[in-house]
Homo-oligomer: A and B are copies of this chain.
Amino acid sequence: MIPLLGFPLVEPGDDVALLIMEALRANDLSLQQGDVLVVAQKIVSKAENRYVRLADVKVSAEAEALAEKAGKDPRQVELILQESKEVIRVRPGVIIVEHRNGYIHANAGIDKSNIRIAADDPRVLLLPEDPDASARALRKDIADLGAIAPQVIINDSMGRAWRNGTVGLAIGTAGLAPLYNQIGESDLFGNTLEVTEPAVADELAAGASLVMGQAAEGCPVVLARGASLKHSDCGSADLLRDKSLDMFR
């Protein structure tokens, strides 16, 4: 896990692939076959200009009521609802939803930290429109700049059921199979593995999240080498449990 140190602050319209190539050079690195780039959601959202000025938000009656219940800014709640398919749980300070893109996520991943907030014109940052598409584009753009196409994971910090604290998880992937299906393979003693299916993209996203640090936009990109993830063009949807099979919604 190699942090790309000295990564610049990202602004709307920036070319993240180019910034990564420059950061690789500045860190004396070049991409090798099988390298995975783990990229913080925040810089992808910023480059895609997923900012919303709260002053521009029209609050619905539904958002007004939910904001009351959750004790949150109604404009932020309106955005949470717009970014979601379904509200899963509500308690003071937090609204847990199924995001448009399928992950269960507190406050639809809408963030107020590590973004410039003017007191008189607050804004928030939404998740990328389609993180799998963002990851695919990044993979292609880096290859188009002459490098070996990296596998790409876009990660975001998420809360979990049952456990305290957030963990970085994969919200978008490109060029890799996010689950490593070992079902049917044998273990060390020749027993058939029955239910072993590690979520390798999430494990890597989590480890990289620790390297990135939480408050440090200074390191939003981590190069993981030696992970040996299988190639696939399937994106990250396999990580999401189908609603009909989920016992915890």
Q: Which one, A49-57, A60-68, A166-174, is touching chain B?
A: A166-174
Let me know if A113 is at the binding interface, CB within 8 A.
yes
What's the Cα separation between A182 and B215 when bound, in Å? 8
- Quick one: which of A83-105 are within 8 Å of B by CB? 89, 91, 93, 96, 103-104
Q: Taking CB as reference atom, which chain B residue is nearest A162?
A: B104
Point out the residues of chain B lying under 8 angstroms from A116, CB to CB: 189
Let me know if A143 is at the binding interface, CB within 8 A.
no
Let me know if A179 is at the binding interface, CB within 8 A.
yes
What's the Cα separation between A227 and B91 when bound, in Å? 33
Point out the residues of chain B lying under 8 angstroms from A188, CB to CB: 9, 114, 215-218
B117 touches A191 (CB 8 A): yes
Point out the residues of chain B lying under 8 angstroms from A202, CB to CB: 163, 165, 167, 206
- Quick one: which of A183-217 are within 8 Å of B by CB? 185-189, 191, 193-200, 202-204, 206-210, 214-217
What's the Cα separation between A104 and B248 when bound, in Å? 12
Q: Which one, A16-24, A73-81, A233-241, is touching chain B?
A: A233-241
- Residue-by-residue, is A103-128 near B (CB-CB < 8 Å gives 1, otherwise 0)? 11000000011111100000000000
B241 touches A164 (CB 8 A): yes
B199 touches A238 (CB 8 A): no
Point out the residues of chain B lying under 8 angstroms from A162, CB to CB: 103-104, 161, 240-241, 246, 248-249
A185 touches B215 (CB 8 A): yes
What's the Cα separation between A191 and B115 when bound, in Å? 8
Partner of A239, one of B112, B165, B227: B165
What's the Cα separation between A164 and B180 when bound, in Å? 11
Partner of A206, one of B115, B189, B207, B214: B207
Let me know if A160 is at the binding interface, CB within 8 A.
yes
B164 touches A239 (CB 8 A): yes
B246 touches A161 (CB 8 A): yes
Hey, which bits of chain A sit against chain B, CB under 8 A?
1, 9, 89, 91, 93, 96, 103-104, 112-117, 157, 160-169, 178-180, 182, 185-189, 191, 193-200, 202-204, 206-210, 214-218, 227, 238-241, 246-249
Given A116-B189, A161-B241, A187-B217, 14 additional A-B pairs, CB 8 A? A103-B162, A114-B189, A117-B189, A160-B161, A164-B197, A164-B199, A164-B240, A166-B197, A167-B202, A180-B214, A200-B210, A207-B207, A207-B208, A248-B248
